[in-house]
Structure 1
């Protein structure tokens, strides 16, 4: 099943926004609303698990024709988080403080973006010979990414700054690295500070970073120079059981299947068998919750496969996030009853999990229910979204009132 959303990109995301959480194992259904549903990491979802189409591959031209020198730099505007404000500033972190899995995002040339826009339209046009002809990650890289030579040059430069390269994208649209605050401050001419907001501690870049001038037209921005993570959007309520006296009515998986005509699919043998579905998260989970839900719902045991993003530390159980993850996993498995459910987890947040799941081709169906207000995104985040298919996060940026929905605070 394919649904067209996330700008012009056809995605195979499945979102289960019917969320439930009660007390002491009692569960009722609450609809999850979010201002921004992060729906994709660009057109890389076009690449997952689909066969090669035989697109002509000549490879992108080298763009880094000059030596990467640190003496002359180019500032990257729009890379400050709005909450990294002076009134919350607690001073610099120590120089040995580890900043993990920072992603350097590359931008396409104008010609590449025009070519990609054209391809995306054609892939959604039934009259086009390219209709539903998907690219492999390597085909995407050879057409829309940096050249292999340029990727090697950037990788070598990062390593020369003392940074550890964790991952290079198969799309050649980003590189993820880890380093100490001192190394990052020296390499990118910025400062990493501590911030204390609403009783919680964070870190973030206090100034806009710069890159060597040779990289100025290649680097779009960074993600994870701060640890302001997306917040779960679920709401908890006291649960009252379905009752003709109270008038409350709560839904179990079989009710959902009947109401939304899914039972007909089950009867025809379509129940997720042989399919994979990946759920994004940023907390460890409690398998006992998943097992209890399936048992109470009359579903057969089907524990999710758990994958920690390579290079990420284990986030442990995170209050709020664990409920979000449980609900997503429970209802994904409740609808696609016999599918293989994969839970991708990262201490750097759900977008990092999403980036990893797509680049590693973990599943053709990806679910992420986290959201945030547009004002909580840096300008480079928004630019990445507008680039649509740059291999980074894009979404449906709502214009609803942030203050009304509580987004004016963290």
Structure 2
């Protein structure tokens, strides 16, 4: 379902500063990297650092020593890609004869995965250039390998350079990743050639707040078990028959203990938790203390919104030591290859310009398209940086706007954030755009929304009436509570902590949609088109958020009637949505 804008903005146009002047030896290294007789063909991995396009650091760029370790994940092209894109549309189209006839893993391997011969050709190329520990993903979309800077240079015709940025030693490629012409129909992109930018969590933690009553209602923290009543689930059954996935960076031992404490404290059954290591067997799957608040928020908010039960909770753990964001790509792919989780939460994101440049966007859109065809739904936090994801992560930069990946993929549900106010009797009162202004460091905390510079607007967004008209995929689709002041009270290392951010709003949606799946025998597919058509025909399905802004100092987008950039359609009234689904084929 992915399509790319015909006129693409430079992948780095949102960054300011003088152009880098590369040392002659580095600038010319690509030409000298391979024998003259090799005909090279570029992949979707662009030069991450190139003259006149980006300033990353004032420090000089020095080519990595030949023996420096490198880890790559090679993304292979889908076979019959156009047909898979059409299938992903058809299984969610009630007018199609293939409606809800979701793709199986076996069918994917037979009709759409790269062939064994194509995989073997890539493996042979990697071995020839000194790569070892080569692993092929079960669905054959990814091939990972360990090598050196010299292996990268000889195998993909690009040097790697290293330099200092933000007090870190980082590296990146200075030329597009290329492959020999014989592999041009097989290799899509080469990931792992930069570790300059990395996905970050979308949570905003703070002290437990006192209830504050305003004209719009009372702002206070909430136990995750309170969100179902606040968003009117009524007698909707729990998600006890639906398997849910959570993508994490690193391990979740502490998060699992905290989840058990949460269920015990709320007299809920113990959740059937399984963990899946999604990278190499020697990867880092240990708990990261800084990340545990995120996985606590995800798991406890999902279980709370799901009515206290899910069939199974699968933690897909990315290798925390993997280069760049390759660990996350492998985690997404494992969740899709397994095809066990019906709804999958992603409370992570990073600048879409970087994802486009290093080939991640192309690689992951294939994965998300496959998920849609299989009837899986990825729910992704839209971001906590307002309109400034790429500009130093939330530091205002006037009218230079940007959004986050993978929320900008048309093959995921992007979930933005609101501030939720309650009545004197603890019921739903109202919502406004989540925007907490600048923190003490000058960073904006607000619901990320806008439109993509790289992903075309999907057909289900073609009739949006909003100004400015989106030139690409518009984000978010829907929103739920995300304010730290009205956030979730979750157990973190055994203590209650109040956490907000769109890392809360996405899990709330995941829990609710898992209930909807359980109520419909897990027959529902990817709901994006359905959400747009349903709300346009039945506006009462949502709480329309009409006040607030997601920028700063007069910039950003304002909320308004109907769909808007800060909150999409707003938040669902779940009982009304359940009733609607009972009377309509909820897909397209």
Normalization by structure 1: what TM-score? Answer: 0.69
Task: Using the TM superposition, give the Cα deviation of residue 90 of structure 1 relative to its aligned residue in structure 2, in angstroms.
Answer: 5.3
Residue 129 (structure 2) aligns with: 161
User: Is 2:315 the counterpart of 1:343?
Assistant: yes
Report deviation, 1:211: 0.9
CA contact (8 A) 2:155 2:179 kept: yes
Q: Which runs of 5+ in 2 are unaligned?
A: 4-35, 394-588
Equivalent residue for 1:352, pick from 330, 338, 350: 330
Aligned-partner SS, 2:206: coil
Aligned equivalents of 2:136, 2:379: Cα separation in 1:
27
Corresponding position of 1:299: 268
Distance (Å, rounded) in 2 between the aligned partners of 1:259 and 1:7: 35
> Mean Cα displacement is larger for which, 366-375 or 87-96?
87-96
User: In the alignment, what sits opposite 1:240?
Assistant: 209
> Do the aligned partners of residues 114 and 307 (structure 1) sit closer, same or farther apart at CA in structure 2, a change above 3 Å counting?
closer
Q: SS in structure 2 opposite 1:207?
A: coil
In 2, Cα distance between the equivalents of 1:84 and 1:136?
Answer: 45
Deviation per CA, 1:195-231: give whole Å up to 9, x if none. Answer: 4322333333233222112112332212222233211
Matched, 1:375 2:342: no
| Contact preservation (8 Å) 1:146, 1:172 | yes
Q: Which is strand-richer, 1 or 2?
A: 2
Q: Residue 329 of structure 1 aligns with which residue?
A: 299
Partner of 1:271: 238
Q: Does 1:175 align with 2:143?
A: yes
What is the CA deviation profile of residues 81-107 of structure 1, one whole-angstrom value per residue up to 9, with x for unaligned ones? 36784635553444343333x221223
Q: How many residues align?
A: 338
Q: Aligned match of 1:133 in 74, 78, 101?
A: 101
Instruction: Quote the Cα distance in structure 1 between the aligned partners of 2:87 and 2:219.
Output: 49
Superposition deviation, residue 281 in structure 1: 0.8
Tell me the CA shift for residue 404 of structure 1: 4.4
Q: 1:407 aligns with which of 387, 390, 401?
A: 390
After TM superposition, give the deviation of residue 299 of structure 1 in Å: 3.2
The more displaced of 384-393 and 177-186 is: 384-393
Among 164, 171, 177, the alignment partner of 1:196 is 164
Contact kept? 1:299, 1:334, Cα under 8 Å: no
Asked if 1:79 corresponds to 2:46, the answer is yes
Secondary structure of 2:349's match?
coil
1:113 has 2:77 as partner: no
Determine if contact 2:346/2:380 at 8 Å carries over to the other structure.
no
Alignment partner for residue 252 of structure 1, among 219, 223, 227? 223
Instruction: Give 1:157 shift.
Output: 2.4
Secondary structure of 1:87's match? coil
Q: CA deviation at 1:307?
A: 2.3
The more displaced of 74-83 and 356-365 is 74-83
* Change over 3 Å in CA distance of 1:261–1:281 after alignment to 2: same
Candidates 186, 189, 194, aligned match of 1:226:
194
Distance 2:224 2:169 in 1: 39
Residue 104, structure 1, aligned to residue 78, structure 2? no
Q: Which SS does the other structure have where 2:204 is aligned?
A: coil
Q: Deviations over 1:17-68 (max 9, x none)?
A: xxxxxxxxxxxxxxxxxxxxxxxxxxxxxxxxxxxxxxxxxxxxxxxxxxxx
